[in-house]
Amino acid sequence: MSTVAPAPYFDISDSTFAMHSEAVRAARSQSWFARTNYGVAVLRYNEVSHLLKDQRLKQGSAQWPEHNGVHGGLFFDWWTENLLVLEGEDHHRIRRLVNPAFSPRHIEPLIVRFEALAEELVNNFVADGHCEFVRDFAEPYATRVLCILLGIPETEWPTIARLASTVGLALGVHIKRDLEQVEAALAELYAYAEALIVDRRAAPGDDFITRLVVANRDGDSLSDAELRNAIVLLIFGGMDTTRNQLGLALQSFVHNPEQWDLLGQRPDLGRKAVDEVLRTNPTTTWVTREAVADFTYNDLFIAGGTTVHLFTQVSGTDPLAFPDPEMNLLGEHAPHYGFGGGVHHCLGHFVAKADMGVALPLLARRLRNVRIDGVEEWMPDSGNTGPVRLPLSFTPAP
Amino acid sequence: MNIFVDRTLCDNHGQCAISAPDVFRMNTEGILEYDEVVDDALHNDVEDAIDVCPVQAIFILNEG
């Protein structure tokens, strides 16, 4: 009789569960998957790479509002019609229409503005020798980059940041409790988006929103509701993720000071730095999928409807795929899945690489000997994570 | 025109097959298959596929 060791088990909603833990690393060396209180978790790189693009799985968040007792209303309607959860031709049609606006050829010319913004924000605090990084840099930078992209006055960034964070509460476990403020914030974002659409229809320019408004493919174009939903998704998906990822990047570099020194001297490594941080310390610590129907993968039977969590950070540091898994800006590594993958691959990844790719080398040059100095505050480790408060000390440099 | 996909970069995300389904397809194993010689009428679709590729693995070798 053969015996098979039982798969590891994790309660991933337990507040003590940690991705960066010996327990998770031990599970990864024992088994390619773990069982969890929310279905299966995939721990190793090769399996994550395959399953991320496997057509037998679909995006796993479509049912999120319903699973939390939300069966209708403004948020429900937006969520169930947004690109994140659409599948098949409904998804592909919208993606074909919005993709060109995110093309690298349109993003590259904005990089000088992103860099000037980073310089301005750093100049506000650098002489002090300390900062609260989320408040002083990550949040205003991430939000003002969105304002630049959307053509909203940058002075309005605190409003956009507040609205995006409030809508973000809908992804938390208290969605039902927070629903009223989520929907109020969503209504305000709708008003912003609708005003932008009306404005660009009346006076088209050479800008991102105009490109969405005039996007046309074989006579098909986005309706006003589809345009509005896409713009709100961009604000919702682009702000928190970038803010969190910048904070996580600083955490990584505080622990890798020689890499920070290297980045300060080599701004050409900016995008490599973004890739290495997304591989080893991503804000999206897992990508959720759901089995479309019953199937078997690597001898594991996965019933239709099963949630499959693809653990990005854990698989991105899998020693089977990365013999030397530590962050290394000069290393050659397999592609990471910090932007997800397959048909739902992050739409804004060129923007993210461009904006963080200029911000990180600039920070590395101006904030020397950076260290954590004070009380940190962090979001839970599951789902989308990052610092809420990250006090830093450093030696100012010109 | 002639199209080349650098297989050392391609990670089979399938974004090109969304942008230009007449040129790029994912087979049942999830591996990219594509036409190497493409009618110039599909130029815009191919340009969209080139732009959207997350690993920038698609190239036009020569315009017809």
Q: How confident is the model at residue A64 (pLDDT cuts 50, 70, 90)?
A: confident
Query: What number is the average pLDDT over the span B39-59?
Result: 96
Q: Which pLDDT tens digit goes with each residue over A2-13?
A: 556 789 999 988
Q: Is B35's Cβ below 8 Å from some Cβ in A?
A: no
* CATH number of the domain that residue B20 is part of: 3.30.70.20
Task: Please report the pLDDT score of residue A16 as a whole number.
Answer: 86
Task: Please provide residue A67's backbone torsions phi and psi, each rounded to the nearest 5 degrees.
Answer: -65, -20
Q: Which residues of B touch A339 (CB under 8 A)?
A: 54
Tell me, what's the ipTM?
0.95
Q: Domain residues for B49?
A: 2-62
Predicted confidence (pLDDT) at residue A45 exceeds the cutoff of 70:
yes
Q: Which pLDDT tens digit goes with each residue over B21-43?
A: 999 999 999 999 999 999 999 99
Interchain proximity A343–B13, CB inside 8 Å = yes
Q: Which pLDDT tens digit goes with each residue over A243-267?
A: 999 999 999 999 999 999 999 999 9
Is position A187 within any domain? yes
Predicted confidence (pLDDT) at residue A1 exceeds the cutoff of 90:
no
Task: Please provide residue A352's backbone torsions phi and psi, each rounded to the nearest 5 degrees.
Answer: -60, -45
Q: How confident is the model at residue A215 (pLDDT cuts 50, 70, 90)?
A: very high
Task: Please report the pLDDT score of residue A68 as a whole number.
Answer: 86
Q: How confident is the model at residue A39 (pLDDT cuts 50, 70, 90)?
A: very high
Q: Give the count of domains, chain A.
A: 1
The two three-digit tokens of residue A204, written as one number: 């088209």
Q: Domain residues for A323?
A: 9-396
Q: Which pLDDT tens digit goes with each residue over A327-384?
A: 999 999 999 999 999 999 999 999 999 999 999 999 999 999 999 999 999 988 777 8
Would you say the pTM of this structure is higher than 0.90? yes
CB-CB: which of B48, B54, B56 is closest to A345?
Answer: B54
Q: Is A383's Cβ below 8 Å from some Cβ in B?
A: no
Handedness of CA A384, A388, A394, A398 (dihedral sign): positive
Closest CA to A382 of A24, A2, A6: A24
Q: Which residues of A touch B16 (CB under 8 A)?
A: none
The alpha-helical segments, DSSP class H, found in chain A are 22-30, 45-52, 64-67, 74-80, 88-98, 104-107, 111-125, 133, 139-150, 157-168, 175-202, 208-214, 224-254, 257-265, 270-280, 312-316, 349-366
Query: What number is the average pLDDT over the span A187-192?
Result: 95
Q: Which residues of A touch B15 (CB under 8 A)?
A: 99, 343, 345
Q: Give the count of domains, chain B.
A: 1
CA distance between the termini of chain A: 70
Least confident of A88-102, A111-125, A372-386: A372-386
Query: Between β-strands B32-34 and B24-26, what pairing exists: parallel, antiparallel or unpaired?
Result: antiparallel
B60, HSE (Cβ side, Cα atoms, 13 Å): 18
Q: How confident is the model at residue A214 (pLDDT cuts 50, 70, 90)?
A: very high
Task: Please report the pLDDT score of residue A4 as a whole number.
Answer: 62
Q: How many Cβ pairs closer than 8 A exist between chain A and B? A: 45
Question: Would you tell me the crossing angle of helices A88-98 and A224-254 to the nearest 10 degrees?
Answer: 80
Q: Are B1 and B61 in contact (CB under 8 A)?
A: yes
Nearest CA in chain B to A49: B11
Q: What is the mean pLDDT of chain A?
A: 94
Q: Which residues of A touch B14 (CB under 8 A)?
A: 53, 342-343
Interchain proximity A349–B54, CB inside 8 Å = yes
- Return the percent helix, strand and coil in chain A, to nearest 5: 55, 15, 30
Instruction: Give the gap in angstroms from C-alpha B64 to the nearest C-alpha of chain A.
Output: 22
Instruction: Give the gap in angstroms from C-alpha B26 to the nearest C-alpha of chain A.
Output: 10
Q: Is B31's Cβ below 8 Å from some Cβ in A?
A: no
Query: What number is the average pLDDT over the span A84-92?
Result: 94
Q: Is A95's Cβ below 8 Å from some Cβ in B?
A: yes
Query: What number is the average pLDDT over the span A294-318?
Result: 96
Is position A161 within any domain? yes
* CATH number of the domain that residue A389 is part of: 1.10.630.10
Instruction: Give the gap in angstroms from C-alpha B4 to the nearest C-alpha of chain A.
Output: 19
Q: Are A372 and A391 in contact (CB under 8 A)?
A: yes
Query: What number is the average pLDDT over the span A194-200?
Result: 95
Q: Is A105's Cβ below 8 Å from some Cβ in B?
A: yes
